[in-house]
Structure 1
Amino acid sequence: MTTYDWLNRLPKAELHLHLEGSLEPELLFALAERNGVALPWADVETLRKAYAFNNLQEFLDLYYQGAAVLRTEQDFYDLTWAYLQRCKAQNVVHTEPFYDPQTHTDRGIPFEVALTGIDQALKDGREQLGISSGLILSFLRHLPEEAAFRTLEQAMPYREAFFAVGLDSSEMGHPPSKFQRVFDKARSEGFLTVAHAGEEGPPEYIWEALDLLKVSRIDHGVRAAEDPRLIDRLIDEQIPLTVCPLSNTKLCVFDDMSQHNILQLLEQGVKVTVNSDDPAYFGGYVTENFMALHDALGMTEAQAERLARNSLEARLA
C-alpha cells in the first residue's frame, strides 16, 4: 500500500473547511453556465493558473469572485454534495464546515437560499454517505460588527441548521475584540464559538479569541509558536488548533512546507489537527494535506495517527 493510500484510509474529521472554498473550477464553470454568469476567465485552465497568491487578500478577492456563481438552493446543494463526495473518498467521517452568509446576502441572495441548500446536502450526507456533520455560520471580519449582528438575527429562524458561529476573512486590522458583543449574543443563544486567529494576525489575536470570544477552538493558530506563554495555555487547556498546511504555504504564511511548524506543535503537546481550508484554491483536500507533511516534514505514521485522532477528539458537533 502506498503512503497516500494508507493516509487516505485513516479515519479523519475535517474541522476547518469553507464550503465556498471547495468550489472546484469545473463546477464553477458549470454553475456560471447554468445561471448565465459571465466569467473573466476563458476556461478552467486559465482559472487554475490564477490560483497564485502572495497573501490572504489576493486569495479572498478571487474567492469572492468565484462565489458569485452560487445563486440558487440547488447550487449550494451541489457545492456541498461535491465536497461530501470528497470526504467519502478520503475517509473523512465527520466534518464541521463553515459558510459565510454575508458573501451571499450582500449580493442579493436571500439568507434561506444558501442555508437550505447546504443543510439538505449535509442531511443527505449523514443518511446516504454516513458522514456526520455540523455547520458553522461564519461572520466576515472585514465588515462591521453591526453587519454580523444583522446576520445572526437573520439566522435565528434557522437555528437548528447550525451549531456554532465563527469568524473569518481578512485578519489583519480586524482583531477578534471587534466582534466581542456579537459573540456574547451568539453564546447567550446557545451557540458554540470558534474563530480564525494567528494565521496572518499576531498571537495577541489568539489571546483575544480565547478571552473575549470564549472560543472552543482556534482556526489556524500557527503564530501561537511566537508566544511561549500562549503555547503553555493551549497545551494546558487542550484547545485545538485547526491547522491548514497547504493553505499556509499557498498564502505565504510559510515560504515553504519544509518550514511549517505543525509537527513541532504536535510534539510539544498542542492539540493540532490537519484540514484543507479552501481546497479548490490551495491544491488539495485533507489527504493531500497529510501527504504534504509526509513529503516535506517526514511525518511518521505515528504522528499521522495522532493528528487524525486529534481531529476526531476536537469535534464540537
Structure 2
Amino acid sequence: MNFDAIPRQQLPALLRTMPKAELHLHIEGSLEPELIFRLAARNGVALPYASVEALRAAYAFTDLQSFLDIYYAGASVLIEETDFFEMTWAYFQRAAADNVVHAEIFFDPQTHTARGVPMEKVILGLHHAAERAHQELRISSRLILCFLRHLSEDEAFATLEGALPYRRHFIGVGLDSSERGHPPEKFSRVFARCRELGLEVVAHAGEEGPPAYIRTALDDLQVRRIDHGVRCTEDPTLVERLARERVPLTVCPLSNVKLCVFPNLAHHNLPALLDAGLCVTVNSDDPAYFGGYVNQNYLELFAAQPGLGAREAWQLAANSFEASFVADATKAAWRLQLDAVFRAAGA
C-alpha cells in the first residue's frame, strides 16, 4: 500500500474508522463518575465526594498510587452482578463507537472479594455483558483476571482457586496495581501454576518500575505480553530482545501522561518504540480516569507527534491484532478489514 498517498488531514477520520483491538483495558477503570453515583445511590454506598464534578476534579494524579486510591474508592459501588454487567456493557458501547472489533479486558476480583462480593457475581456480570456485545455489537472479547501485586502471593493463589469454577469465562491472568516495590518474581509460583492450567499470562512492567521488571516478567513469569513496558528504552539490549522476540507492548499514552510517566504526549516514546521494530499497541488503560477511550488515545497521540502518519496508524492497528489471544484465521480476517479501510482512504 502507498501510505504516503493519504494526506495528514485525513488521519483523524482514518484513526476513528480503522478496525482495532484493545488489549489493555481495566474494566473497573471504565467506570464513569455518572455511573459511580448512580450505582452508589442504588446500593446505598456513601462516597467521599459531593458530586460528579467534585469526583472529576479529584482526577489530578501525581503518580500511580494517587490514582489507585480513587480507583478503589470508585469500585466500591460495584456489589451486584447487574452492576458489573452495566459497567461492562457501557464500555462495549463506547468500544463499538471507536470501531474496536476485539477487546481483552482486565478485571480485579480481589478489589471486590475483599469487600465480600462473591467471585460469581464479578465474573458472570462481565461474561454476560461480553455475550451481549458479541451478539449485538459484533465485538469479540476475552477476560483476563489480574492479581493485585501490592497483596501477597498467597492471596493471589486464593483468588485463583476461587476463580477456577468459572475457568471457562477467562483466558488468562495478569499482574497490576502498585508496581514500585513489588517485582514480578514476587508471584513466580502462582504464575507457574497458571501456566500449568493452560492460562495465558501477561504482566504490567516497566511503567513506573525499572526495565529489570520487564526482564523478570519475561524470564521468571514467562509472560507473552508486557503491559506498558515504556521504560524498556533505558536498556538497549532489552529493546533488541523485545523486537527480536516480537513481545507485544500494550502502551497507554494518555495514562502515561496522566500518571506523570511522560510530561506530555509530544515527549512520549511510542514513535521510538515503533522505529525500533517493537510490536507496540495503543490502548486506553483506565479511560474514565485518564481522559479518553482508545480512539482518543490515537487522536491525541498523532496530533502531538507530527512524525506519525498513515503507515504508523496501520502498523499500530495491525500490531493490535497480532498481539491478541485469538486464532490466526481471525487475525487474518481483521487484517483484511484493516487493509480495506486504508485502500478506501487512498493507500
* Structure 2 length-normalised TM: 0.90
Secondary structure in 1 matching 2:25 = coil
Post-superposition offset of 1:8:
1.0
Counterpart mapping for 1:71-110 below 5 A: 71-110=79-118
Match in the other structure for 1:312 = 321
Match in the other structure for 1:4 = 12
Match in the other structure for 2:267 = 259
Post-superposition offset of 1:2:
5.8
Match in the other structure for 2:217 = 209
Secondary structure in 2 matching 1:289 = helix
Question: Are the equivalent residues in 2 in contact too, given 1:4–1:287 (CA < 8 A)?
Answer: no
Match in the other structure for 2:340 = none
Secondary structure in 2 matching 1:16 = strand
- C-alpha distance after superposition, 1:42-99 (max 9, x if no partner): 1111111110100000000000000000010000000000000011000000000100
Secondary structure in 1 matching 2:65 = helix
Question: Are the equivalent residues in 1 in contact too, given 2:102–2:141 (CA < 8 A)?
Answer: yes
- C-alpha distance after superposition, 1:160-194 (max 9, x if no partner): 00000000000000000000000000110110100
Match in the other structure for 1:222 = 230
Which whole-Å CA distance do the structure 2 matches of 1:127 and 1:266 have between them? 35
- C-alpha distance after superposition, 1:219-243 (max 9, x if no partner): 0000000001100110000000000
Match in the other structure for 1:286 = 294
Post-superposition offset of 1:256:
1.4
Match in the other structure for 1:49 = 57
Residue identity in the other structure for 2:252: C
Match in the other structure for 2:25 = 17
**Which of the pair has more CA radius of gyration?**
2
Post-superposition offset of 1:38:
1.3
Counterpart mapping for 1:181-260 below 5 A: 181-260=189-268
Q: 1:296 aligns with which of 304, 308, 312?
A: 304
**Stretches of 4+ moved more than 4 A in 1?**
none
Range that drifts further, 32-41 or 53-62: 32-41
Post-superposition offset of 1:294:
1.1
Post-superposition offset of 1:39:
1.2
Residue identity in the other structure for 1:137: L
Post-superposition offset of 1:4:
3.1
Whether 1:177 aligns to 2:188 is no
Post-superposition offset of 1:3:
3.9
Question: Are the equivalent residues in 1 in contact too, given 2:49–2:55 (CA < 8 A)?
Answer: yes
Which whole-Å CA distance do the structure 2 matches of 1:116 and 1:145 have between them? 25
Whether 1:270 aligns to 2:270 is no
**How many equivalent residue pairs?**
317
Question: Are the equivalent residues in 1 in contact too, given 2:11–2:310 (CA < 8 A)?
Answer: no
Which whole-Å CA distance do the structure 2 matches of 1:103 and 1:185 have between them? 22
Question: Are the equivalent residues in 2 in contact too, given 1:245–1:289 (CA < 8 A)?
Answer: yes
Whether 1:121 aligns to 2:129 is yes
Which whole-Å CA distance do the structure 2 matches of 1:297 and 1:4 have between them? 13
Whether 1:60 aligns to 2:60 is no
Question: Are the equivalent residues in 2 in contact too, given 1:180–1:213 (CA < 8 A)?
Answer: yes
* Structure 1 length-normalised TM: 0.99
Whether 1:35 aligns to 2:43 is yes
Question: Are the equivalent residues in 1 in contact too, given 2:26–2:105 (CA < 8 A)?
Answer: yes
